[in-house]
Amino acid sequence: MTLRSLFLWALPVIALLASLSLGSGSVGPGDVLALLSGNGSDEARFVMTELRFPRTAIGIVVGLALGISGALLQSLTRNPLAEPGLLGVSAGSALAVTVMILMGSDSAAITTPVAQVGALAGCGLVVAVARMQGPGRDPVRLILAGATLSGLLLSLTSLIMMADQRTANEIRFWVTGSISGRQWEELFATLPSMALAGLTTALVARPLASMALGEHVAVGLGYRPGRVQFLVITTVALFVGAATALAGPLMFLGLAVPFIARAIGGPDIRRTLLLCLAVGPTVLLLADTLCRLLVAPSELPLGVTTALLGAPLMVMIVRRHRMPTL
Amino acid sequence: MTDANSANPTLATRNLRMAHDHHTVIEDLSLTLSPGRVTAIVGPNGCGKSTLLHGLARVHHPAGGSVLLDGGDIHRQPSREVARRLALLPQDKDAPQGLTVRDLVGFGRHPHQDWFRPPSPEDRAAVDSALGAARLEELAERPLDTLSGGQRQRAWIAMSMAQHTPLLLLDEPTTALDLGHQIEVFELIRQLAATGRTIAMVIHDLPSACRYADHLIAMKEGAIISAGTPGEVVTRALVRDLYGVECDLLEDPATGSPLLINMRRSTDP
Amino acid sequence: MQRRTVLVNTALALGVAVAALAALSLGTIPLHPVGVLRAFTTGEASQQMALILFELRLPRVMAGALTGAAFALAGCLMQTLARNRLATPGIIGIDNAATAFAVASITGVGIGLAPPAMALVGAATAAALAFALAGRTGTRGYPFIMAGVGIGAIAGAITQLMLTRVAIDAANAAYPWTVGSLNSREAMATHLLAGGLALCWLAALGIGRHLNVLRLSETVATGLGTHPGRLRLAGLGIAILLTGLAVAVAGPVGFVALLGPEMARSVSHPARVPLTASALAGAILMLLADLAGRMILAPLEVPVGIVTAIAGSPWLLWILLRQTPGRAL
């Protein structure tokens, strides 16, 4: 218990401090301390207020959103591999944003809703795929179908980038997944819908926990699976759309965060969701700090780091769960 | 049908040890299949009977001892040469969609054919006679996936027949078949035995083994605990020992083989 | 059975010829197909036409046909060995790994091996890793495919990483090739592919008779006198060689490896593994996809990898959703 709580409390704090004080530039922990005591250099002040604070805040929000969406999707599909990145939800969101920029609009105010609509469409496709799969459903197939969908949507995104140089320049870094160089306004634009999604998450947590025992059990307990499913999908779309608008389509975060949360707190979805509040931001901030340090003075795209860390985890989960043979 | 038993090859094991992942399943097992007879290998789940059959058919390498075909180590002989004398019908098998019965039976000629040589008249004759023996002429051009379970299993057996081997090994040829189809398959096996082939099969169902086999091998925990004609092997003590089942025995008035009746769970462990 | 194989292969070969003729004739400067045919048969052509035909389009068409054939033949072999339609080199990450290694040698991270050699090394590495990670189930289970998907994701990330580390011009130049394109091919890699494809095709035909039997199940195949272990090793080796060589020319065009064999199977006799037919179908698909990529947004060129991904994804989805589990190929 002590070790566990140490991880649970110490790691988020370490991640937060690391994200604030470490970077590819010259501003280090010493400058941060000086700044806190009121006498830092102007350069340090600029780096902190204009770059690192917004970046860290965005990291926290994105980690939270993706972690919770992953937990919700995994619970809904009863599939430990379900994840917005793998299933094509993020890719749907990215495509929507790309199309929007292609049409000539790039104001932060409408990016978020457009990304959320894209995510909703991606969710809809995933659910349709899961439905079409019919009685012979098995977990890996859903993931492979989702990955195909994701690949298709990202191909379309590439196609647009190829056809339109201006769009390409605007989203080149965003589309590989990154939280660097974002403004406060962009974060603020996502907050209302994030708050709404948080509220619906609280609403669906209990019914989801009973649906884990089987849809019929949930009906017996007085819940309506159809309504729960609808709420979960809306929540996921709101979260993933907002996260994608901020950080681009990130893979594997929604896989890793709930996995860690379950390892700490067991299978109950309610506890998993609570733990995601701490684990999601921690994982994302650590990954992002890693991006800044590994190849300093330049930076890795966040999407590259999450893929490098997340893919082995996915293979491990498949092996551990003894997925059926085809 | 031509007599496949002209050479009358023998299949035997000497001090055979079989293992899965370093876990010994069969220890020090020696047997010789009686030529020209139907031998049934019976025993409870996990006794090693399928492993033994796979060992005999050189699908798995022994961990110790040897399997002898005509006195020589089966793994030292070219696989193709072995396949001309020994056919195997395993449980795991699957046909590509749209494959017809004739196509499937044609695969039985594989060890007799060469690279890119069109099928010889001999191949065609073997396929036709196998189809005839299995009463599949009418269905020969039908895709396999449109047949009933029993017909499909007969088609697979016909494939093994077309292989034209004096030895035939069958792994649970009647699992998942209903009673009518089981009898259909067993009667085909008896018919094959009548041509002089040496047949060994793993069978789940002791009463069927008594009814259709000339020779029984009873296995438990990787060893043979009894072997002989069904009348010699099947005793109340053996049934209790193998399955933990009490029963009474009668003699089948039609065939003289033992009949198990009044079966119930054994009370003492 | 024999007659049908000959018929199917002849028809597909004709298809390749027609697709090639179309690819030679169509483009920003359209040429008349009859003129193109005459130029080939009699050598009689204007200087400008000769330039377009022999210097620009013919090498591209050759590269397209060869890579398409190589990808599809590799896909057919892998699918048969794994008894799973999803086990194409593209889906299990071999394409991506080969690309990552080739990009490494282009961007100078490598040890000076030519891109084709590096692509081969990458392909072999990915296959070996997928095997090792799959554990006891071998090529037949999900762990193999998911291990491959994971390796593909990592290799893709590494490729992206290397591209962000080089100058923007180099990255822009390499980008189309990393999604699969016939635009940045090298003559040397194409020649290697031509030789390799010929050898691999013969080798594949050599084991074809045994592959037909292997489809019934490993145990049945053993009973019929083949050696599944050796067969698997040979087949995988051929598939890896083909994929590596083809990636070195065109980058990862994974969907051809899925669609070519699908197309070939639908017209071929079910008792045969359609090796030659797959290769021919792959060549047709690649030529048509590249042609479409050149025409759709002309004068802009859409890389053939994106065309096949967009056209092939729905088909893959359909397989995933409708294929009955456990059915043999």
Q: Using a threshold of 3 CB pairs under 8 A, tell whether chains A and B touch.
A: no
Query: B266: left (phi > 0), else alpha (psi -120 to 50), else beta?
Result: beta
Smallest CA–CA distance, residue B231 to chain C, in Å, is: 32
Amino acid B113: pLDDT: 86
Tokens at residue B2, please? 């031509």
Q: Is the pLDDT of residue B19 over 70?
A: yes
C-beta atoms of C270 and B97 within 8 A: yes
Phi-psi region of B242 (alpha: psi -120 to 50; beta: other; left: phi over 0): alpha
- Check CB contact of A165 with chain C, cutoff 8 Å: no
Flag whether pLDDT at A136 surpasses 60.
Answer: no
Dig out the tokens for C177 from the structure. Answer: 């090739």
Percentage of chain B exceeding pLDDT 70: 96
Question: What integer pLDDT is reported at residue C109 of this predicted model?
Answer: 58
Contacts of B89 in chain C (CB under 8 A): 220, 223
**Higher pLDDT pick, A186 / A141:** A186
| Contact status, residue B82 vs residue B58, Cβ threshold 8 Å | yes
**Chain centroid to CA A224:** 27
User: Does the beta-carbon distance from C217 to B59 stay under 8 Å?
Assistant: no
What is the average pLDDT score of chain B?
Answer: 88
Number of domains in chain C: 1
Domain extent for C102 = 2-322
- Contact status of C325 with chain B (Cβ, < 8 Å): no
Q: What is the mean pLDDT of residues A92-114?
A: 82
DSSP conformation letters of C166-192: S-HHHHHHHHHHHH--STT--HHHHHH
Task: Identify the three-state secondary structure at position C325.
Answer: coil
**Å from B150 to nearest chain C CA?**
18
* A156: contact with C, CB 8 A cutoff: yes
Average pLDDT over residues A12-20: 84
List pLDDT tens digits, range B160-185. 999 999 999 999 998 878 888 889 88
Judging by DSSP bridges, how do beta strands B245-251 and B258-265 pair with one another? antiparallel
Tens of pLDDT, residues B228-259:
999 899 999 999 999 889 888 888 888 888 88
- Asked whether C213 and C224 are in contact (CB, 8 A), the reply is yes
Q: Kindly list the residues from chain C whose CB atom is less than 8 angstroms away from the CB atom of residue A160.
A: none
Higher pLDDT, C291 or A104: C291
Portion of chain A with pLDDT greater than 90, in percent:
14
User: Per-residue pLDDT tens for A220-237?
Assistant: 777 777 888 888 889 999
Q: Tell me the domain boundaries of chain B.
A: 1-85+165-229, 94-164
Nearest to A311 among C153, C306, C325 (CB): C153
d(CA B210, CA A24): 81
Q: Looking at chain A from residue 260 to 299, which residues have their Cβ under 8 Å from any Cβ of chain C?
A: 295, 298
Q: Please give the share of chain B, as a percent, with pLDDT higher than 90.
A: 51
Whether pLDDT at A322 is above 60:
no
pLDDT band at B69 (very low <50, low <70, confident <90, very high): very high
The encoded tokens of residue B119 equal 């099928």
Average pLDDT of span C281-308: 90
Q: Residue C119: give its domain's CATH number.
A: 1.10.3470.10
In angstroms, rounded to a whole number, what is the distance separating the alpha carbons of residues B25 and B20?
A: 7
Region of B15 (left: φ > 0; alpha: ψ -120 to 50; beta: rest) is left
Of C146, C306, C320, the CB nearest to A315: C146
Smallest CA–CA distance from C158 into chain A, residue: A304
Residue C118 in 3-state DSSP? helix
What is the CA angle B236-B237-B243, rounded to 5? Answer: 90
| C and A make contact (3+ CB pairs below 8 Å) | yes
Beginning with the edge strand found earlier in the chain, give each strand of the sheet holding B11-20 in spatial order.
Answer: B23-32, B11-20, B64-69, B72-73
Across residues C121-144, what is the average pLDDT?
76
Which residues of A fall within a CB distance of 8 Å from C165? 295, 298
**Mean pLDDT value across chain C:** 85
- C-alpha distance from A74 to closest chain C C-alpha (Å): 17
Rounded mean pLDDT, C227-234: 89
Instruction: For residue B265, list its beta bridge partners.
Output: B245
Q: What is the CATH number of domain A2-320?
A: 1.10.3470.10
Q: Which pLDDT belongs to residue B2?
A: 40
Across chain A, mean pLDDT equals: 82
Q: What's the CA gap between A120 and A241, in Å, rounded?
A: 8
Distance CA C96, CA C253 (A): 10
Taking the Cβ of residue C227 and every Cβ of chain B, the question of whether any pair is shorter than 8 Å is answered with yes
The percent of residues in chain C predicted with pLDDT above 70, rounded, is 91
- Helix, strand, coil percentages (3-state) for chain B, rounded to 5, are 35, 30, 35
What confidence score (pLDDT) does residue A325 get?
41
The DSSP output letter for A277 is H
| Partner-chain residue, chosen from A305, A314, A325, that has the shortest CB–CB distance to C140 | A325
pLDDT reported for residue B9: 79
Least confident span in A20-24, A184-188, B124-128, C205-209: A20-24
Q: What is the distance between the alpha carbons of residues A280 and A59, in angstroms, rounded to a whole number?
A: 9
Q: What is the pLDDT of residue A326?
A: 36
* Chain A residues touching residue C324 (CB < 8 angstroms): 136
| Calpha distance A170→B11 (Å, rounded) | 75
Q: Which of A125-134, A238-247, C85-94 has the lowest mean pLDDT?
A: A125-134
Supply the pLDDT for residue A65. 94
Which residues does residue B169 pair with via DSSP β-bridges, in sequence order? B88, B200
**Cβ distance B67 to B11 under 8 Å?**
yes
In chain C, % of residues over pLDDT 90: 29
pLDDT of residue C285: 95
Q: What value, to the nearest 5°, has the Cα angle with vertex C99 and ends C94 and C101?
A: 95
Asked if A303 and C157 come within 8 Å (Cβ–Cβ), the reply is yes
Report CA-CA distances (Å) from B186 to A230, B37, B139, B154.
56, 14, 20, 10
Model confidence pLDDT, tens digit, residues C38-81:
888 887 778 888 888 888 889 999 999 999 999 999 999 998 88
Residues in A closer than 8 angstroms to C143, CB to CB, are 315, 318-319, 323
In a 3-state reduction of DSSP, which class is residue A172? coil
* Residue contact B115–C206, C-beta within 8 A: yes
The band of C111, judged by pLDDT with boundaries at 50, 70 and 90, is low
Query: In this structure, how many other beta carbons lie within 10 angstroms of the beta carbon of residue A215?
Result: 14
Using CB atoms, which residue from A147, A311, A325 is nearest to C137? A325
Contacts of B118 (CB under 8 A, 6+ apart): C2
- Residues of chain A found within 8 Å of residue C319, distances taken between Cβ atoms: none
Q: How confident is the model at residue A135 (pLDDT cuts 50, 70, 90)?
A: very low
- Give the CA distances from residue C115 to residues B170, B255, C152, C243, in Å, rounded to whole numbers and listed in that order: 52, 75, 18, 13
Residue B6 reports pLDDT greater than 50: no
**Which of the four pLDDT bands, split at 50, 70 and 90, describes residue A103?**
confident
A138: contact with C, CB 8 A cutoff: yes
C219 touches chain B (CB under 8 A): yes
User: How far is Cα A164 from Cα C55, in angstroms, rounded to an integer?
Assistant: 29
Token pair of B51 as six digits: 């492993």
The better pLDDT of the pair B96, B226 is held by: B226
pLDDT band at A321 (very low <50, low <70, confident <90, very high): low
Across A79-83, A216-220, C176-180, C263-267, which has the greatest mean pLDDT?
C263-267
Is the Cβ pair B88, C220 closer than 8 Å?
Answer: yes
Domain assignment of residue C302, yes or no: yes
pLDDT tier at A64, thresholds 50, 70, 90:
very high
* pLDDT at A312 exceeding the cut of 50: yes
Average pLDDT of A272-287?
91
CB contact set of B235 (below 8 Å; sequence gap of 6+): B249
User: What residues in chain B have their Cβ under 8 A from chain C's Cβ atoms?
Assistant: 54, 57-59, 78-84, 86-90, 92-100, 103-104, 106-108, 110-111, 113, 115-116, 118, 143, 160, 163
Give ipTM to 2 decimals. Answer: 0.85
Instruction: Give the pLDDT band of residue C140 (cuts 50, 70, 90).
Output: low
Best of A95, A133, A144, A253 to disrupt the C interface by mutation (most C CBs within 10 Å)? A144
Would you say how long chain C is, in residues? 329
Q: Which strands make up the sheet holding B223-228, listed edge to edge? A: B86-89, B167-171, B198-202, B38-42, B215-220, B223-228
Q: Let me know if chains B and C touch, i.e. at least 3 Cβ pairs under 8 angstroms.
A: yes
CA distance C222 to chain B (A): 6
Neighbour-count burial for A271-300, b at 16+ CB within 10 Å, e otherwise = bbbbbbbbbbbbbbbbbbbbbbeeeeeebb
| CB neighbour list of residue A227: distance below 8 Å, 6 or more residues apart | none
User: Sorting pLDDT into bands at 50, 70 and 90, what band is B268?
Assistant: low
First to last CA, chain A: 40
d(CA C172, CA C267): 41
Mean per-residue pLDDT, C15-43: 88
Q: Do A161 and A286 touch, CB atoms closer than 8 A?
A: no
Q: Which chains touch B (3 or more CB pairs under 8 A)?
A: C
Find the range with the poorest average confidence among A64-78, B7-21, C125-139, C260-274. C125-139
CATH class belonging to B1-85+165-229: alpha beta
Say what the pLDDT of residue B83 is.
Answer: 93
More confident residue, C166 or C220: C220
